[in-house]
Structure 1
Amino acid sequence: MTKPTLSLNCTDIEMINDTELNNSTTTFSTSEFIVVYFSMLITLFGLVGNGLVLWFLSFHFKKTPFTVYVLNLAVADFLLLLISKVVFLYIVCGAWKQISVGPSISLLLTVTYYAGLCILTAISVERCLSLTFPFWYRCKRPKYQSGITSAILWVVSILLTYIDIFGCNGTDYKNRELKCTVMIIGTSTLSLLIFSPAMVLSSLILFIKIWTKTWCQHSSKLYIVIVVTVIIFILFTTPPRLLSLLFYFNIIHVKNFFIVYTWSLFCSVINSAANPFVYFFVGSMGKQGVGVSIQGALQKVFKEDSDISQETAQDTEASEIKM
């Protein structure tokens, strides 16, 4: 059996066939097990944090364009953390070889990675547009754009997952066939040279806007959340993507598979678990300090979605009237 069976969070680092697996390093060092146990702890906190975000956004907060995106992002992060928890349990119990019989693990990890990538790109780009074209954002933006866009991005994530996992079989992957090379380079380019630069550029514009005189009088918690979230995403998802390319082109030898695997999944777990804590700590900033409740902190961040759009539209209309 040579069919690849596990792709790490869309890094294309796949399980190899049984013969190669038996000849590779199959034991973990103490440091690697420390990473695994630490990752399990992080996944627990991340599941609780994303669960709270899902609960409050679903039942306690008014739906806004931003919260619809955040709700979808929290779903993607929650699913990724949940599947990662299963993977780590397999490793700790010494049953990691059984992962090869669970293709759903590979599918869900890849779908949730792409969903997070696409949705976070949409968040940063749309908030940038809301500052650049505030009147359009307030008055001309379609009412259900966030929901429709999120649904489309989930479909795109599923299609990219199909390309990632079923684009080439195990034999073609092993032989480095042209179609596999094109697929891996294509998906890596999409992540590293299209989505990631779009997030970085939009976040840079948001960061500049935070510190300009025009916006210093406005509360900037929402923008800080977006910038910090994008920075964390870039820092902890770019290395796994680069590792996938190094692994495919044999720059990283197969005996290092489990080291690459655990550290890559560790990076993905940190990224998915961090977002709820970013929302809380940024929302807690201010006069009330750390005494603010979780719901209060989230409310202070997400409430700005409607407040800022109203203020920007009013400022634009006022400037147009003066002209």
Structure 2
Amino acid sequence: MADAIALSSHTAITIKTIYAQLEYWAKKQYFLETIIILSIPTCIWGLIGNGVDFWLLCFTIKKTRFSVYILNLTAADLIVNIYYIMVFTSFLAPLHVNLYFSCVMEIIYLFGYNTSIYLVTAVAAERYLTVFFPVWYQRHRQKHLSIIVCAILWPLSCLVSLVAYISCYPRFLSSHNEERADCTAATIFEITVTFLVFQPILFFSTTALCIKMQREAKQSAPARLDITITILAVVFLIFAFTVRIVDAIAYWHQKLDAPVPFLLSLLFDCIKSSINPFIYLAVGCWTREKPIHKFLERALSDKAERTQVDQKQTEKYPEPQM
């Protein structure tokens, strides 16, 4: 491992600091190296997978209301993958990067990280309305609702990211003080948006979809889209919200602000931003009655073996495209 890090990045410098803190551990180098060895290939595979999905969603797959969400989610995950590859590269080899460029990259990373959480919540909530209130949903849904929601969530994520970063994140700056009132206010704002708005919606929508799929499993096969959304939601609840909970608790209880939770959060973040393409591949290739290049389109399809009532509702209120 390279001991010197020239990149002025909060994450990279925090890794460097943690490396020094782990000097009292008997096997410090094995733990840190294990995290990095697992994280780098995970992010690289995620970058490749998200890149392929982004290309397919842009130029190959027919645009639907849910594919629009997945396209934006893929773009957000690409941002996170690129950021972590740069961070770990800066730890392995010295890179001389301008301070302002580093700050911009960190803000963009937070931008992509928050947006991915918001988008998964939005797609789960819209699917919940589609399944449980089909008649009302088809009558009152705006034509380009998916595009409108994405256009709202990106600026919201930008606002939350800027407030959090400017107030709390640039810890490598000498003028920074985590105990400032604005940092506390920014932390409360971020916790409110994440845990009191998006997490309950995601948890409730996913739980309802799971219960419905289990009840109707004997009558008809669940739509692949329901399976895809459920798996995505579970992954985010485990790998994204768990890290956010630990970070929130560590802000007020400094004992949790330790090397191990931080390094595990890096690994969890890499997994969360890289696993989605493989979820689409697994769900889309569940059966092989169609060409394999159609896996993403099948993973986002809500056309399943439905009951006669569902089929009549679909014929009466056809699915909008976006």
Superposition TM-score tier, normalisation by shorter sequence: 0.7 to 0.9
The Cα shift of 1:122 comes to: 0.4
Return closer, same or farther for 1:162/1:241 CA change in 2, 3 Å cut-off: same
User: Paired residues, what number?
Assistant: 301
Return closer, same or farther for 1:24/1:55 CA change in 2, 3 Å cut-off: same
Give the match for residue 269 of structure 1.
270
Opposite residue 213 of structure 1, the aligned amino acid is E
CA contact (8 A) 2:49 2:274 kept: yes
* Aligned equivalents of 1:7, 1:186: Cα separation in 2: 21
Return closer, same or farther for 1:239/1:14 CA change in 2, 3 Å cut-off: farther
Q: Secondary structure at the match of 1:62?
A: coil
* Aligned equivalents of 1:100, 1:293: Cα separation in 2: 47
Opposite residue 266 of structure 2, the aligned amino acid is L
CA contact (8 A) 2:46 2:277 kept: yes
Return closer, same or farther for 1:118/1:97 CA change in 2, 3 Å cut-off: same
Consecutive unaligned residues of structure 2, counting only runs of 5 or more, are 1-7, 317-322
Give the match for residue 207 of structure 1.
210
Give the match for residue 38 of structure 1.
38
Alignment equivalent of 1:299, drawn from 264, 279, 297: 297
Return closer, same or farther for 1:77/1:293 CA change in 2, 3 Å cut-off: farther
Paired residues for 1:211-230 under 5 Å:
211-213=214-216, 216-230=219-233
* Aligned equivalents of 1:232, 1:143: Cα separation in 2: 30
The Cα shift of 1:24 comes to: 5.4
Provide TM-score, normalisation by structure 1.
Answer: 0.80
1:191 lines up with 2:194 in the alignment? yes
The Cα shift of 1:313 comes to: 7.3
* Aligned equivalents of 2:196, 2:58: Cα separation in 1: 34
Paired residues for 1:55-204 under 5 Å:
55-93=55-93, 102-167=102-167, 174=177, 176-204=179-207
* Aligned equivalents of 1:22, 1:263: Cα separation in 2: 12
Give the match for residue 314 of structure 1.
312
The Cα shift of 1:181 comes to: 1.7
* Aligned equivalents of 1:96, 1:267: Cα separation in 2: 27
- Most deviating of 91-100 and 28-37: 91-100
Opposite residue 52 of structure 1, the aligned amino acid is V
Provide TM-score, normalisation by structure 2.
Answer: 0.81
Opposite residue 301 of structure 1, the aligned amino acid is A
Consecutive unaligned residues of structure 1, counting only runs of 5 or more, are 319-323
* Aligned equivalents of 1:41, 1:155: Cα separation in 2: 31
The Cα shift of 1:219 comes to: 3.9
Give the match for residue 21 of structure 2.
25
